[in-house]
Amino acid sequence: MIRTNWIAGLLALLFFSYAQYQGWSLFAQDAATQTARVAGGGRGYHK
């Protein structure tokens, strides 16, 4: 069981490393909309 979890974690790390190398991003669209939203009205609102 522990060996299976270790292998699954290693495969996930390899996959995400490969995706980073290729320039893939799961959240690129969300990040772009958030920075645009913050840039437009970030100065007028302070918590």
pLDDT digits (tens, 9 = 90+) for 8-34: 999 999 999 999 889 887 776 666 666
3-state secondary structure of 47: coil
Structural domain count of the chain? 1
Q: Which residue has the higher pLDDT, 38 or 25?
A: 25
3-state secondary structure of 2: helix
Looking at residue 16, the DSSP 8-state letter turns out to be: H
Does residue 35 fall inside a structural domain? yes
How wide is the angle at C-alpha 41 spanned by C-alphas 34 and 44, nearest 5°?
A: 140
Q: pLDDT value at position 47?
A: 67
Does residue 8 fall inside a structural domain? yes
Does residue 46 fall inside a structural domain? no
Does residue 20 fall inside a structural domain? yes
For residue 8, what are the domain limits? Answer: 2-41
Does residue 47 fall inside a structural domain? no
The answer to pTM > 0.75 is no
Does residue 14 fall inside a structural domain? yes
Q: Is the pLDDT of residue 44 over 70?
A: no
